[in-house]
Amino acid sequence: MLMFFVLSTFIPVSFLAYLSYSESNDMLLKKAHHQLAAASNSYNKVIYERLLLAEQVLQDAVTKLINGSDTFEADIQLIQRIRSLTLLRSDGSTKKLLGEPQAIESLNAAALKHLASGRTVLMTQSKGAGNNIVLMTALNAEALEKGILIAQIKPDYLWGDPESLPLDIGLCVTNEQYAVLFCANKPEAVNVAQPLKQIAHRTKGEYHWDEGDIRYIANYQEIFLEPHFLTPRWLVAAIQPEADALDNMARFRTIFWGSVILSVLVILLFSMIQIRRVLVPLEKLIEGRAGSATAISPRRWM
């Protein structure tokens, strides 16, 4: 009876404890994904705004060139954002205006059409272990033969100081081919591009993957570049080890399971006390009835 009573108490308590613990774990993961989504969305907007500011500086440089000025070393706004400035002539020759001259591949028909509409083209060029981010605009959209101005954006300006970014979240940017353009606060051994390539078919979402013995969770969001800059898209991914996201669970786990065990022990104690209160008088009653039965003489009934 005692064992039956204990099991009937322990099983429901354990089941409810497991459900509560599982729900708490899921809530922490949801909260972590909300934080990662907010981080990727915020960084997404920052990068796009910086690209627009760099484009504005490039347009100002076009205006100066049209007005006959080709000196840019004193332009504070430009040198804070642009590493090099090169004029590409119609015959394929280039003129260095600032920094090292920027070589550019031949432009396809879509890029030329985009420039002829008065808009800016954004390109990514691989250079060794890094990448160059290049903006191009025409001196005269109606006459591309007058030249195209090419600007290489400073990485420090576009991506920002890694120390100013959240230290507990890794932020990575990939281009349309899932080549990593920039990463901050990311473990060296983590390959962000491969799992992102497998799932990033929508404009934003969340995912997770295992790298060795560590599980990572992440949220990504697309930077819409194609309408304005012709580049298909960039993706901003915010990543974090799942263990870091559930760091608060360690203390909660100790308190929670300690409370569950204590509750079960208290239930057992009071159950035993209550059972003894019921069984002891019952045993005495049974013993009394047995004694009465043996005390009656058989002759009385003869």
What stretches in the chain show pLDDT beneath 70?
A: 1-25, 128-129, 187-189, 248-260, 264, 267-268, 271, 275, 278-280, 282-285, 287-302
pLDDT reported for residue 297? 47
pLDDT reported for residue 19? 58
pLDDT reported for residue 302? 45
pLDDT reported for residue 129? 67
pLDDT reported for residue 62? 92
Global pTM value: 0.76
pLDDT reported for residue 163? 82
pLDDT reported for residue 107? 86
Which long-range contacts link 137-140 to residues 24+ away (Cβ below 8 Å)? 137/55, 137/58, 137/59, 137/62, 139/62, 139/65, 139/66, 139/87
